Structure 1
């Protein structure tokens, strides 16, 4: 365990190394996105660096905010106006660091969003779907015994604490599951090609249902936010255990 407090540079280096950020190309910068104070004693984690999360950070008097969805996405407007201006102003005014990890957190084999969702479902012998890059963004597992779709839905809803969207393809029991948290519904074709009878993601698109029907695969959309709560929470818990600093998880409500 490192001595608390950490320096900002120590925190960034520790997280960058743990998540191996140089292994993947992403749609946004991973690591330190907004520089704040140098000394880190308290960190707030959450899924998205929304204004509500930042206000919680100010109220908790934290030194850094650690999220899955940060800022500066590829293709977004570069003007610092409106909502973006208010968010950045909050961070800069209160000298709070913002660190964000997108794909590196999705694919991490222990702390990642996909790994944690698999653990919530009690799945073992989890492997990455090799046909999808970056490796780990879609995962799969075989069930010890075939399960009815209704049983899997009940377990998922209990673990996530919410209702989920279910499309029954009429193919019966499930022996192999594939999943991608968040907005991964587009991978349903690869999941079916790999032999899965059920694909789980966070969101659903119009074409997802056509793929499910024509490829003969059940589909569940369990919520983008709901399926991606657990990676950032696990990362924060690891950080606290590794360093001894205080880490708080804030689950800002989002039904999507």
Structure 2
């Protein structure tokens, strides 16, 4: 497939033009024009780039790419090394951030709900058709300890659980993968029993305790493996590309 056609295919699926983001979405670094093999991963770090080079990939497709709002614009040091490796090896870099978070089928939040067996009821941000955070419910109420165990088994990572002053059981839940911890206040105001995000801040613990809501920090990387993996599987299935997923371990 032509590299610009692949961008058009991904844009048609994820509609990045509808979502205000902190980085450019789509083809960020242009490489060879013909793409047969794609490597997917969470972040375009040097380790993933090196593994893609070893695999003779024509393209890398990630959730966390380059050129974030507020970062230094100079291409030097670590940024230079990453971009140099891509250009020298003719590898295209595609990145989709918030558009991948919010996709109703392949998105990080949709996939987390599927993994944890949540029924999705809607977006947590009322009035926003592209709400990043979601909310839903469990078929049966569970204890905080039981939900923590479910998260650990599904994501292969023990979550941080704050349950002080929270309900004895959990049936309604909100979630936002990655750095979505500040949506906890919306979850609390909505009267949900629990909220899950990837990262945690110092303030999050106090908010959870004072609003009387269970909080689970399940890891930024751990909660965002599944959208990019699903996107790659969709590409392979619908467009007959050779696609491989590479997980670069990250405990955060």
If the length of structure 1 is used for normalisation, what is the TM-score?
0.96
For the aligned residue pairs, the C-alpha RMSD in angstroms reads: 1.1
* 1:106/1:136 contact within 8 Å kept: no
Indicate the SS of the match to 1:39.
coil
Matched, 1:89 2:81: no
The answer for the alignment partner of 1:64 in structure 2 is: 59
The answer for the alignment partner of 1:55 in structure 2 is: 50
Q: Which of 174, 179, 198 in structure 2 is aligned with 1:183?
A: 179
In 1, Cα distance between equivalents of 2:191 and 2:130:
18
Q: CA deviation at 1:128?
A: 1.3
In 1, Cα distance between equivalents of 2:160 and 2:118:
21
The answer for the alignment partner of 2:69 in structure 1 is: 74
Give structure 1 regions of 4+ aligned residues with deviation exceeding 4 angstroms: none
Q: Which runs of 5+ in 2 are unaligned?
A: none
In 2, Cα distance between equivalents of 1:50 and 1:40:
21
Once the two structures are superposed, residues 76-106 of structure 1 have per-residue CA deviations (whole angstroms, 9 ceiling, x without a partner) of: 0011110000000000000100000000000
Q: CA deviation at 1:18?
A: 0.2
Q: CA deviation at 1:136?
A: 3.0
| Gap change, CA 1:223 and 1:125, over 3 Å in 2 | closer
In 2, Cα distance between equivalents of 1:254 and 1:184:
18
* 1:163/1:222 contact within 8 Å kept: yes
Q: CA deviation at 1:163?
A: 1.1
Q: CA deviation at 1:124?
A: 2.0
The answer for the alignment partner of 1:246 in structure 2 is: 242
Q: CA deviation at 1:132?
A: 7.4
Q: CA deviation at 1:10?
A: 1.3
If the length of structure 2 is used for normalisation, what is the TM-score?
0.97
The answer for the alignment partner of 1:3 in structure 2 is: none
Q: CA deviation at 1:134?
A: 6.4
